[in-house]
Structure 1
Amino acid sequence: MTLEETEADRLEAVERERREQELRRTVQAEPRHLDALIELGMLCFETGRRHEAVGFFEQAVALAPRDAILRCNLGNALAATGRPEAALLHFREAILGDPRLALAHYQYGNALRDLGRDPEAVAAYGLAIGLDPHLAAAERQLAQLLRRLGQVHEAAAAYRRALAIEPDRPVVHFNLGNLLREQGQLEEAAASYRAALRLRPGFAGAACNLGHVCLAQGRFAEAEALYKRALAADPKLVDAARSLTQALEQQGKLGPAISAGEKLVALVENDVPAWVRLGRLYQRHGKPIQALAALRRALALAPADLPALLASMPVLGALERPEEAIAAGRRALAIDPDSGAAASGLWMLLRRACRWREAEALAAKIAGLTDAALAGGSVPDQTPGAFLLASMDGPKLRRIAQAWSTTSLSFPGKPGAAALRRRPLDHKTDRPLRIGYLVEAGSSDLPLIADLCRRHDSSRIEPILFTHGDGAAASPALPEGSVDLSVLRPEIAAQRLADEAIDILVLSDATPGNAAMTIAARKPASLQVAWPGFPGTSGADFIDYVLADAIVAPPQQAGHWSEAICRLPEAHRPILLGEQPLGETPDREREGLPPDRLILAALHPPERIEPALFRLWTELLGALPNAMLWLSAAEPLMAVELRRQAAERGIEPQRLRFAAPRAPVARGPRLALADLVLDSFPANDASLTEEALAMAVPVVALRGRNFASSSSASLLAAAGASDLVAEDLEGYRRIALDLACDPSLRETVKGRLLQAQARAPLFDLARFGRHLEQAYGRMWRHYLAGRAPEAIEILPAVEVQA
C-alpha cells in the first residue's frame, strides 16, 4: 500500500467517525429520526459492529415496519450475529411487503441455506433470479448450493450465468474450475483457472489447482512451475507444497523432490502421509537410513498407519534388518487382513528368509485376494513375477499380466493425449528394416543385444539401440548411434522413438507395468516385440509378438499368451561368451569351500527356492557324504533357517556353505568352483544356467509347463545337453546322483559342454542373428499385408533357401 493510499484510508476513517458522532447526536435529540437510525445501522454493520447494527435497525423497523429494504437490512444484521431463524422472519416480512423485490428473495435464500434447508433455498434463489436476471450474487450462491446438492451440470450453468453478468470475478472462475476438474473436464477447468489468474495473478489457489490439472495430464514441468508460483504467493499453502513434491518425483527429480518433501514436513510436522512420501523418496534415492527415520516419524504419529508400515518393509530389507521387516509386514496384515500389499510383501520377505511354512499359509490368502481383484477389474497386488515363483498356471498369469499392463496405459490423455508425431510409413520391401532395441542400461542382456546389433546384416537390418533407466555408468561399450533415453519422461522417450521411424521395437524386458512398457504403451513403433526378458506373457495389447521357441512356448499353450508367438529354431536366446569379468581369480579356499569335496551349487536368489526342492537337495547330501551344498547368502535369515531345516533332516549344518554376498569375483566365474549346478523350480534360474554353461559346468534342471519353468530346459537343449533335463523330481534326483557319483561322467559332460561352445546353436550368435532377421522379415511382411499378428515358425538357417 502506498503512502497516498494509507493517508486516504486515514482520512476516510476520520470522516466516518465524524459522521457517526453527528448521527448519534441527531438520534439522541430525535430518537424517531428514521434516516439517522438507518445510516447508523449501516455504519455499524460496515465496521463489524453487528450487534449494534441490529439495535439501530430494530428501532428503524419499529418506525417503518412495511419497509422491505429495511427489513432486509435487519435480517442481514441478525444473520451476521448467528441468528438465522430471526433473520428468516424479517426476510419473509420483506417479501410480504414487496413480493417483487429480488433482493429479499435472495437474502431469504441465504437464510434458508444457513439453516440447512437447501431445496427451499434453491427455490428462493430461482425466484430472485426470475425477478432480476442480472442478480449475479444469486447465481453465485445458487451455483454453490447446486454443487453441494450434487446437481453439477446445473451448478456449472449457474456459474457461467454469473460470469456472463460479472466476468471480472476471479473467485467465480476459480469455483467453476474446481467444479469442472471434479467432473474430469480438465481442459475446461484449466481455462477457468487461467481466467482467474489473469484477473488476479497472485491467486495462489488458482495456480495450485491449475497445477493439479497439469499433473493429472502428465505435464509435470508445467505443474512444477505452477506449484512454485502458488507457493511464492502463499508459502504456507500445504496443497501446493505437497503436490510440488509429487510433480518433481514424476519427473525423476528425486533430489529436488526430497527438498520439497522436507519443506512440506517442516510446514506440517504432524502430517503422516507427508512423512511417508518423504520416506519413499529417500528410499528411491538410495538413502535407506533417512527413509527409515522419516517412516518412523510417521509411525510415531500414527502407529497403525498402513502405508507407513508397507513402506518400511522394503526399507528395513535394504538395511538388512529382515526380522524387523517381517514384523512390520505382520503388523500391517493385522491392521488390514485384506491388504493385498501387506500379504504380498510379507510373503516375499518370508520366501527370502526361506520361512516356507508361514509363506505357504499366506499363499492361499494372496490367491483369494488376487482372484477378487481380477474379478473386480482392478490390479492385484501380486505381481506377475511373484506369481511365477510358485505357479505354472498360464491362463491365470495372463489375467494378472493383463491387469498389470493396464498400469502402463495410465498416461495423460489415454484416450485424450496428443498422438505421437509419426513419419509416413515406408512400404518399400527392398529396404533395411529399422529395428529398435529398448534395453535398460543396467540389464544383463545389454552386452548380448549390443553384440547382436553389431552382427546384423546391414542390407537387411538397420538396428538402433535405445537405453533407459539407471545404470548407464556400468553399461558396456555400445554400438555407434545408440540413443540414451534415461533422462526423458515416457511420453518424450516414445516420441523420440517415433522420430526415428522405427519399424519394429524390441523390448528386452516386457515385464507388465515396468518402465519400458510405459514407453511402449504409446505405440511408438508399427510392431512391438517382447524378447528376451520376462519369462511369460506381457498381457499387453500393445505388444504384438513374443520371440520364443517350441520348448518354452509350445503351440498348445498359445492361449496363455496375449502376443502372437514367433518360434525361433534351436533356442529362444543365445549365450554370449565374453571375457572373464575383472576381479580376483576364483578360489575354493577363499570361498570357504574344501578342495576335496563335491560341490553342488544352488546360488539362486532365496525366493526361487521351493521347500520340496530344498528337501531333495538335503536328500542328495544324505546320499553323498562327500558333498556340500553351496548356496547364495543373499539374506541374513536364509542361512540360519536353511541350516536349521538341514539339521532337522540329519544333515550337519556346516555342509551348507553360503557364498559371500559381495564377493570380489562375479557369480559366473565362481561357478567354475562347482562340480554340479542344481537349478531352481518352478521358476528356473535361467541366468545361473547360462553362467554355468558358459563355464562348462553341468546343470541339472527340471522342466515344467510354462516359460519360466522351461527356460533352463531350452538352454540345455540348445547346448546339446537335453539329457540333463528331468520331467519330475525323481528324474532330477537320478540325474544329479548319476553325475555326483561318477566323476568320469561329469568330465564327459563338461567336455561336451566345452565342445558345444564351439559348435552348438546356443553359442552361435551369427546363426541366431540370421534367425532373428528372418523373424523380423516375416513379421513385417505380415504387417504390410494388413494381417493381424499370428504364429510364425522360423526354420533353422541351414534349411532356409537362398
Structure 2
Amino acid sequence: MRKSSVLTPGSVDAWLHQAFALHQQGQLGQARALYEQVLARQPAHAQALYLLGTLALQARDMRLAETMLSKAARANPRHVPTLINLAMALSQLDKHAAALEAVERALALEPTSVPARGARVGMLVRASRAADALREVDALLAAGVQSAELWVNKGIAHNELGQAAEAERCFDHVLSLAPNHPDAQSQKVKLLIARERYDDALELVDRVLATAPNDAQAHANRGHVLVELRRYADAVEACSRACAIEVSVDRLTRLSTALCLAGRMDKAEAAIRQARALDADYPPLWVAAGVVLASLGDYATAALNFDRFLRVRGNEDKVLLLKADALIQAKSYAAAIESLALCSIETPAALSQSVYAKLMIADWQDIERPIAQLLGNVREGEGVYVPFFLLPIADDAALMHSVARAYARGTECDTAGQRSVAPTRGKKLRIGYFSADFHNHATCMLMAEMLAAHDHERFEVYGFSFGPTERDAMTDRIAPCFDQFLYVKDWSIDRIAAQARQLQLDIAIDLKGYTQHGRQQLFAEGCAPVQVSYLGYPGTLGSACMDYIIADPTVIPPEHEAHFSEKVVRMPHSYQCNDSQRRIAEDVFTRGELGLPESAFVYVCFNNTYKILPEVFARWMRILQAVPGSVLWLYQGTPEGADKLRGHAAAAGVDPQRLVFAPNLPADQHLSRLRHADLFLDTLPCNAHTTASDALWAGVPLLTCLGNAFQGRVAASLLRALSLDELVTTHLDDYEATAIDLARSPERLAALRARLAAQRQTSSLFDGKRFARNLESAFITMADRHYAGLPPVAFDVQDAGTANPGGVVATS
C-alpha cells in the first residue's frame, strides 16, 4: 500500500477515495494524512472535513473533531451525519447546549432520523435531563427501534432519577444479549458500587473476564471495584492490564488513581502525564490529577483541578468533597465551607468537614446544630467519620471508640494483617518507628531526645519516613538516632510493609494514627508481630491491627480501658515524652513588641483555633471581665479566625482589643515569647498537647479542665507528672473561678511558677533519657509475651528511676 508521502499529484477525489479506504481498514494515521492533503488543496471540502472529523471522533480527539465537523457543517449545513457527529463531539466536550442545538438541526432536516433521535437521547442524558431522555427513549422503543445504546441510556436516565432497580434491569437487558457490552457493563458496575454491592460488581466483571480475558474495559471496571474495596495493589494490577491491552485516557486516569491510593506517587504522576498526552481536556483526568497533587501536598493546585471539573460537569458531591478537603489542607476554610454547602446531600464526610472548617475560623453561627447532629449520628451508628474531626467536639471516650471502630472497618484497616515472625528472637529487639513527621514537626520536637537515648546494645532502631518533607534540620538531628532511616514516601503500602517484614521487626510503632498523612493500611497489611500506637493520635484506633497503645494513668484510667481496642500500656508518669535540649532564645522581645500591655495580666492559649468552642470562649470572656485590664493572647491560625474571635468578644461585651493575636515563629523564639504570659488557659474537649509542653517548658503555669476522653486529659497528665495537681480542675465552673483567683493572687501564682521552674529541672516529664528506658522496658515486655506465645495484655511500666527500674505490673 502506498503511503501518502509518495503519492503523485492526482485528482482530489482519488485521494479522498484512497483515504476513505484506509479509514475503513483502521489505518487511521495514513487516512488522516491523506484527508489533510485533500484539505490543503481544498480547505472547504465538506466531505473531507466530515471524514476527518469523524476519524478524530473515533480516535477521541474531541477538539479536532469539533473543529473539523464545525467547518463541515458550515460547508454543507444540510448534511445530517455531520450534524449528528458534531453533536456527539460537543457532548463529549461537555458543551451540552451546543450539542443539543446541533442534533436539533439534524432533526429539523430529517425528523424521523433514528440516528439523530438516538443521538439526542445521549445528549439529554449527558446534559442531566434524565426525564426528557426517558420520554425520547420510550418513544423510540414504541416505534420499534431497538439498540443497546438506547437501553444503556435508558438505564443511565433511570439511575439519575434515583430509580436504581429500573436502571439495573435496563443494563441487564443489554448484558443478556451482549454479555461483554462495555458501556452496559461499566454502567452496571458504577450502579453496584454506588449501592455498595461490591461483591456483585466484582462477580460481574470476573464473569466477563472468564470468557473474555483480554477485555480491556472489564479489567478497567475490575480496577474500579477494587479501588472501592480499598484493595489498591490489586486495583493497580487490573488497571495496568487494561492499559496494556488497549490504552485510553479513561483507563490511564483510573490507573493513576489506583497508583496514588497505593502510595506509588511517581508512577501515578507518570500515568497522569501519559493521559494528558492523549486528551488533556478529559474532565475525569482533572479529578485524578487533583487527587495526585493533593497526595503530594500541592493542595492549592489540586483544588484548581477539582474546580475545573466542577465548572464543566456541574456540582458532583464526590468532587465537591475532594475540593473541600484540599481547601482545608490549604487553610482556605471559608472556600471549603462554600464548597461543602453545594453538596446535594449532607453525607458524613460533608458534615464532619464542614464542622471542622467552621471551627478552624471560629465560624460559630448555628454551630450547635451540626455538632449535635454529628455526635448523634455517631451514637446511632449512622455513617463513617474521620475520627480526627471528632476530637474537638466529643468529650466521650466511648463515642470516640465507636467512631474509630466504624472508621477502621470502613477503611479496611480492621484486620490483623500479615505478621512477620523471626524464627527465633534475636540478640537485639528490632523496633521500627513509622511516621510522616520526621522533620520540624511537633511530634519530632517531643521525641528527639528520647530517640537519641535508645540503647543500641539492646535494640536495633529503624525509621520509616513517609512525610512530605524529606529532610530539614530536625531530620538531620534525628536520622543518626536510627540504625537505618528510610525515606519511603513514594513507596506503595505493600512495599513498605514487605520491607518491614523483611527486616524482621519485632515491634512496629505507629506515630500517626488518624492524623494527616497517616498510613493505617500499613499496619492492616502487617509490619511486625507486635504493633503499637503512640503519640501522634490521642485515642484508640479501633482496629484489630493495633496490639497496644502507650498511655498513662491519667489519659486512660482503668475505667476507660473498655473504650480502647488496644491493650493499654501505662507509663509511670506521663505518656508524652519531651526534649530537655529544646532551646529557648534569649529574651528577644519586649511585651510591647508582642502587642501586649506592659503591666496587664496576660492569659494565653496558643492552641489551634479549632479547639476553641463557644462554651470555653464564653468562660474566657467572663474571666476577662472579672480581671480588669487583663488580655487574652491567642495564636492566629488565619486572619478570618482572628476577626471572628474579635467579633465574638464584642458580642460578649468585651473590647475586641483585649484579644491579642500571635503569628507563627521559629520554635526557640516562640518559647521565648511565651515567658511574657502569666497563665495558660486550656481548651476542652480537646486539650493543649504539644502547646501545653511548650508553655510548661517555658515556665508558664497551665490551667486545665479534665475531660472524659484521651484528647481532653493530656494537659492533666503533664501537670500531674510535674506535681501541679491543683491546676487540674474537673468542672468548667472551677476552671473559671481558678483562672480569676490566680490573677487576683499574685503570691499564689508566683509560688506555682517557682515550683514549675524547680520541677522543670528534675521531673521525669522533661527527661527524654529516662523516658527511653521506660519505653524500652515496655517494648521488652511486649516482645517477651509474643515470643512466649502469650496474647497482648494491659500492663503498667515501673519507673526506671525507682527501686525496681524497668519492671512491669500486669493489670489485666
Name the TM-score, length of structure 2 as normaliser: 0.69
Whether the 8 Å contact between 1:421 and 1:495 is mirrored in structure 2 is no
Q: For 1:684 and 1:264, locate their aligned partners in 2 and report how far apart those are by CA, in whole Å.
A: 51
Q: Are the structure 2 counterparts of residues 504 and 185 from structure 1 closer, same or farther at C-alpha, using a change threshold of 3 Å?
A: farther
Moved more, 181-190 or 346-355: 181-190
| Identity in percent | 25
> Residue 616 of structure 1: CA displacement?
1.1
Which of the numbers 301, 307, 314 marks the counterpart of 2:318?
A: 307
Q: For 2:758 and 2:218, locate their aligned partners in 1 and report how far apart those are by CA, in whole Å.
A: 72
Whether the 8 Å contact between 1:283 and 1:315 is mirrored in structure 2 is yes
Q: Does 1:252 align with 2:265?
A: yes
Partner SS state of residue 560, structure 2: helix
Moved more, 452-461 or 257-266: 257-266
Q: For 1:195 and 1:296, locate their aligned partners in 2 and report how far apart those are by CA, in whole Å.
A: 36
Q: Does 1:346 align with 2:354?
A: yes
**1:377-388 equivalence runs, <5 A:** 380=384, 382-388=385-391
Q: For 1:466 and 1:754, locate their aligned partners in 2 and report how far apart those are by CA, in whole Å.
A: 36
Q: For 1:324 and 1:211, locate their aligned partners in 2 and report how far apart those are by CA, in whole Å.
A: 33
Q: For 2:518 and 2:592, locate their aligned partners in 1 and report how far apart those are by CA, in whole Å.
A: 42
> Residue 503 of structure 1: CA displacement?
0.9
Which of the numbers 800, 803, 809 marks the counterpart of 1:799?
A: 803
Partner SS state of residue 711, structure 2: coil
Equivalent residue number for residue 561 of structure 1? 564
- Count of aligned pairs: 638
Q: Are the structure 2 counterparts of residues 421 and 293 from structure 1 closer, same or farther at C-alpha, using a change threshold of 3 Å?
A: closer
Equivalent residue number for residue 444 of structure 1? 442
Q: Are the structure 2 counterparts of residues 724 and 222 from structure 1 closer, same or farther at C-alpha, using a change threshold of 3 Å?
A: same
Q: For 1:293 and 1:454, locate their aligned partners in 2 and report how far apart those are by CA, in whole Å.
A: 43
Equivalent residue number for residue 432 of structure 1? 428
Q: Are the structure 2 counterparts of residues 281 and 488 from structure 1 closer, same or farther at C-alpha, using a change threshold of 3 Å?
A: closer
Partner SS state of residue 280, structure 2: helix
Q: Does 1:331 align with 2:329?
A: no
Partner SS state of residue 473, structure 1: coil
Which of the numbers 746, 750, 772 marks the counterpart of 1:747?
A: 750
Partner SS state of residue 518, structure 1: helix
Q: Does 1:493 align with 2:496?
A: yes
User: Deviation digits for residues 122-152 of structure 1, max 9, x if unmatched?
Assistant: xxxxxxxxxxxxxxxxxxxxxxx99946999
> Residue 525 of structure 1: CA displacement?
0.7
Q: For 1:686 and 1:599, locate their aligned partners in 2 and report how far apart those are by CA, in whole Å.
A: 20
Whether the 8 Å contact between 1:696 and 1:754 is mirrored in structure 2 is yes
**1:393-432 equivalence runs, <5 A:** 393-409=396-412, 422=420, 424-427=422-425, 431-432=427-428
**1:619-698 equivalence runs, <5 A:** 619-661=622-664, 667-698=670-701
Q: For 2:174 and 2:586, locate their aligned partners in 1 and report how far apart those are by CA, in whole Å.
A: 69
Whether the 8 Å contact between 1:528 and 1:545 is mirrored in structure 2 is yes
Partner SS state of residue 704, structure 2: strand
Partner SS state of residue 438, structure 1: strand
User: Deviation digits for residues 262-288 of structure 1, max 9, x if unmatched?
Assistant: 5576343xx4x4444444444444545
**1:238-317 equivalence runs, <5 A:** 238-250=249-261, 251-253=264-266, 255-256=269-270, 258-259=272-273, 262=276, 266-268=280-282, 271=283, 273-317=284-328
> Residue 673 of structure 1: CA displacement?
2.4
Q: For 2:335 and 2:214, locate their aligned partners in 1 and report how far apart those are by CA, in whole Å.
A: 53
User: Deviation digits for residues 642-667 of structure 1, max 9, x if unmatched?
Assistant: 22221222211111111124679654
Equivalent residue number for residue 594 of structure 2? 591
Gaps of 5+ in 1: 14-80, 83-113, 119-144, 160-169, 197-203
Equivalent residue number for residue 452 of structure 2? 454
Whether the 8 Å contact between 1:190 and 1:210 is mirrored in structure 2 is no
> Residue 386 of structure 1: CA displacement?
1.7
Amino acid at match of 1:454: A
Q: For 1:704 and 1:210, locate their aligned partners in 2 and report how far apart those are by CA, in whole Å.
A: 47
Q: For 1:301 and 1:732, locate their aligned partners in 2 and report how far apart those are by CA, in whole Å.
A: 53
Whether the 8 Å contact between 1:257 and 1:281 is mirrored in structure 2 is no
User: Deviation digits for residues 81-106 of structure 1, max 9, x if unmatched?
Assistant: 99xxxxxxxxxxxxxxxxxxxxxxxx
Whether the 8 Å contact between 2:512 and 2:537 is mirrored in structure 1 is yes
Q: For 1:741 and 1:390, locate their aligned partners in 2 and report how far apart those are by CA, in whole Å.
A: 31
Whether the 8 Å contact between 1:668 and 1:688 is mirrored in structure 2 is no
**1:115-154 equivalence runs, <5 A:** 148=172
Gaps of 5+ in 2: 8-16, 22-112, 115-143, 149-168, 193-198, 808-812
User: Deviation digits for residues 187-231 of structure 1, max 9, x if unmatched?
Assistant: 8877866667xxxxxxx657856876997651576567546545x
Q: For 1:239 and 1:552, locate their aligned partners in 2 and report how far apart those are by CA, in whole Å.
A: 49
User: Deviation digits for residues 587-631 of structure 1, max 9, x if unmatched?
Assistant: 433322233322211111111002111111111111112211111
Equivalent residue number for residue 535 of structure 2? 532
> Residue 495 of structure 1: CA displacement?
0.7
Moved more, 609-618 or 667-676: 667-676
Which of the numbers 708, 711, 716 marks the counterpart of 1:705?
A: 708
Q: Are the structure 2 counterparts of residues 599 and 193 from structure 1 closer, same or farther at C-alpha, using a change threshold of 3 Å?
A: farther
Partner SS state of residue 366, structure 2: helix
Which of the numbers 383, 395, 401 marks the counterpart of 1:392?
A: 395
Partner SS state of residue 799, structure 1: coil
Q: For 1:706 and 1:371, locate their aligned partners in 2 and report how far apart those are by CA, in whole Å.
A: 15
> Residue 420 of structure 1: CA displacement?
5.7
Equivalent residue number for residue 124 of structure 1? none
Q: For 1:757 and 1:483, locate their aligned partners in 2 and report how far apart those are by CA, in whole Å.
A: 34
Partner SS state of residue 501, structure 1: coil
Which of the numbers 355, 358, 367 marks the counterpart of 2:375?
A: 367
Whether the 8 Å contact between 2:364 and 2:614 is mirrored in structure 1 is yes
Partner SS state of residue 367, structure 2: helix
Partner SS state of residue 499, structure 2: helix
> Residue 684 of structure 1: CA displacement?
0.4
Whether the 8 Å contact between 1:632 and 1:660 is mirrored in structure 2 is yes
Whether the 8 Å contact between 1:408 and 1:513 is mirrored in structure 2 is no
User: Deviation digits for residues 428-463 of structure 1, max 9, x if unmatched?
Assistant: 7xx332222222234422354443233233443332
Q: Are the structure 2 counterparts of residues 386 and 634 from structure 1 closer, same or farther at C-alpha, using a change threshold of 3 Å?
A: same
- Aligned-pair RMSD on alpha carbons? 4.5
Q: For 1:245 and 1:276, locate their aligned partners in 2 and report how far apart those are by CA, in whole Å.
A: 11
Q: For 1:527 and 1:640, locate their aligned partners in 2 and report how far apart those are by CA, in whole Å.
A: 48
Q: Are the structure 2 counterparts of residues 551 and 404 from structure 1 closer, same or farther at C-alpha, using a change threshold of 3 Å?
A: same
User: Deviation digits for residues 544-596 of structure 1, max 9, x if unmatched?
Assistant: 11111111111111110001111111111222122427899344333222333
Equivalent residue number for residue 465 of structure 1? 463
Whether the 8 Å contact between 1:450 and 1:465 is mirrored in structure 2 is no
Q: For 2:391 and 2:547, locate their aligned partners in 1 and report how far apart those are by CA, in whole Å.
A: 22
Partner SS state of residue 337, structure 2: helix
Partner SS state of residue 506, structure 1: strand
Q: For 1:366 and 1:534, locate their aligned partners in 2 and report how far apart those are by CA, in whole Å.
A: 20
Partner SS state of residue 366, structure 1: helix
Q: For 1:731 and 1:146, locate their aligned partners in 2 and report how far apart those are by CA, in whole Å.
A: 66
Q: Are the structure 2 counterparts of residues 476 and 348 from structure 1 closer, same or farther at C-alpha, using a change threshold of 3 Å?
A: same
Partner SS state of residue 602, structure 2: strand
* Larger gyration radius, structure 1 or structure 2: 1
Partner SS state of residue 576, structure 2: coil
Amino acid at match of 2:308: R
Name the TM-score, length of structure 1 as normaliser: 0.70
Whether the 8 Å contact between 2:579 and 2:766 is mirrored in structure 1 is yes
Q: Are the structure 2 counterparts of residues 651 and 421 from structure 1 closer, same or farther at C-alpha, using a change threshold of 3 Å?
A: closer
Partner SS state of residue 789, structure 1: coil
> Residue 310 of structure 1: CA displacement?
2.7
Q: For 1:726 and 1:209, locate their aligned partners in 2 and report how far apart those are by CA, in whole Å.
A: 57
Q: For 1:634 and 1:768, locate their aligned partners in 2 and report how far apart those are by CA, in whole Å.
A: 32
